[in-house]
A and B are shown apart, each in its own frame.
Chain A
Amino acid sequence: MDKIPILRMGDFLLVTIQVDMHDRLAMALQDDLTRTISQTEAHGVLIDISTLEIVDSFIGRMLSNIAAMSRVLDAETVVVGMQPAVAITLVELGLSLPGVRTALNVDAGMELLRSSVNAHKELYGSRLH
């Protein structure tokens, strides 16, 4: 079975979805990601979907679920690189992914994560690792 790799970059986790998402794969990713977040104590998750061309309501809901789960585990989620066709489909399906932060590309997404984590640290003081 395919497996979506989860890469660790400093404080953040990087997930690049480069294959067609099917439901089993999505569930596996959800499991893997939550486990990795709690193991690594990551503060941010960046999901790159720039090569994802087909999306359905299940995948849309999974994205917002992952964001919600990460937040519970104290990690911010940013979805980057969504294609116009995918965005239109999600809107037409009535999925506006309210809790998910978005950015145009990985660069912008990283910047967003960094600034939000920094703001978080300023508020609550930096934690020891």
Chain B
Amino acid sequence: MSEMRLNRNGAKFVEILGKREDQILAEWMKEMTGATRRGDLIKDSDLRAECTQFLKLLTQATAAAGTDFQSPAFDAMREMLNDVSRSRAQKGFKPSETATFVFSLKRPLFNQIQADQKGDAETMVAEIWSLTELLDAMGLYTMEVFQKSREEMIRRQQEELLELSTPVVKLWDGILALPIIGTLDSARTQVVMESLLQAIVQSNSRVAIIDITGVPTVDTIVAQHLLKTVTAARLMGADCIISGVRPQIAQTIVHLGINLLDVTTKSTLAAAFSVALQRLGITFVRETAKS
């Protein structure tokens, strides 16, 4: 029953849409001159093209399926809302500005319905009600997509950060270095540990230097993560040296009562490197001036 009523209402509204598209478009554009226009972010001509396309799709979809936004007839419409929402999220529109793109269509449409249905209050209310529902559904849909594209962006950045921050460097045949920059949390430690151990196996390295010059603070959890990495490397048969321990960090470690006695620690990467060379039995000799 209600399905039929919706369809009938939709039909009425489609008629109006078809007849007065230009007028609605003009009013809509005027409606958007306020906060949502954002002339700095989107060109007038682009916006007009978007609105025209939107109205065209809306006419097509409502002609086929009434005001049922979930129906497949609205697929093209949804596609368009996707694009609009995504591109606006990237351009830096505020969420409310993006949603108002759809909501601002209400007044021009309602005005037209009012003009068309003069006298027949009941039909007018029913018509306006079903339209409101449809436009609300569309507005909420743009919000959802907006949110989703933002979340995607954040997730991608997080992943990139994880990958960026854990390069394993080969210093010498059999010596690896792992410069850590930024705070170590559990997820990062896991990545750091795995990439280091994998690199140890691949390059057959006997010594690995973990440089923590870029780690701002060391608390018990970070220290525990470091110790785990060192122990895992030892289990595989590689020695670990921790370098880049700053004076403040040395103080913190002692105050926290963390036991780093079993681990070789050095203040600089250079010092750690020379220890590593020593362990591999490599010595460098400065070439003196030939006499």
SS class of chain A's interface: helix, strand, loop or mixed?
mixed
Looking at A22-30, A33-41, A78-86, the stretch in contact with chain B turns out to be A78-86
On whether the beta carbons of A102 and B204 are closer than 8 Å, the reply is no
On whether the beta carbons of A87 and B206 are closer than 8 Å, the reply is no
- CB within 8 Å for A104 and B204 given contacts A84-B198, A87-B197, A88-B194: yes
The CA of A91 and the CA of B225, in the complex, are separated in Å by 10
The CA of A108 and the CA of B206, in the complex, are separated in Å by 9
Total A-B residue contacts, Cβ distance less than 8 Å: 55
Select the residue from A92, A102, A104 with max chain B CB neighbours within 10 A.
A104
Contacts of A91 in B (CB 8 A): 228, 231-232, 235
A-facing residues in B192-215 (Cβ within 8 Å): 193-194, 197-198, 200-201, 204-206
A residues contacting the other copy or chain, number (CB 8 A) = 20
B-facing residues in A71-113 (Cβ within 8 Å): 79-84, 86-88, 90-92, 96-97, 102-105, 108-109
On whether the beta carbons of A82 and B236 are closer than 8 Å, the reply is yes
- CB within 8 Å for A108 and B197 given contacts A91-B228, A91-B232: no
Distance from B98 Cβ to chain A, minimum over Cβ atoms (Å): 45
On whether the beta carbons of B201 and A84 are closer than 8 Å, the reply is yes
On whether the beta carbons of B204 and A87 are closer than 8 Å, the reply is no
Binding site for A on B (CB under 8 A): 193-194, 197-198, 200-201, 204-206, 228, 231-238
The CA of A103 and the CA of B206, in the complex, are separated in Å by 8
Binding site for B on A (CB under 8 A): 79-84, 86-88, 90-92, 96-97, 102-105, 108-109
Known contacts A83-B201, A90-B232, A97-B235; 7 additional CB pairs below 8 A are A81-B237, A87-B233, A88-B194, A88-B197, A91-B232, A91-B235, A104-B201
The CA of A108 and the CA of B239, in the complex, are separated in Å by 13
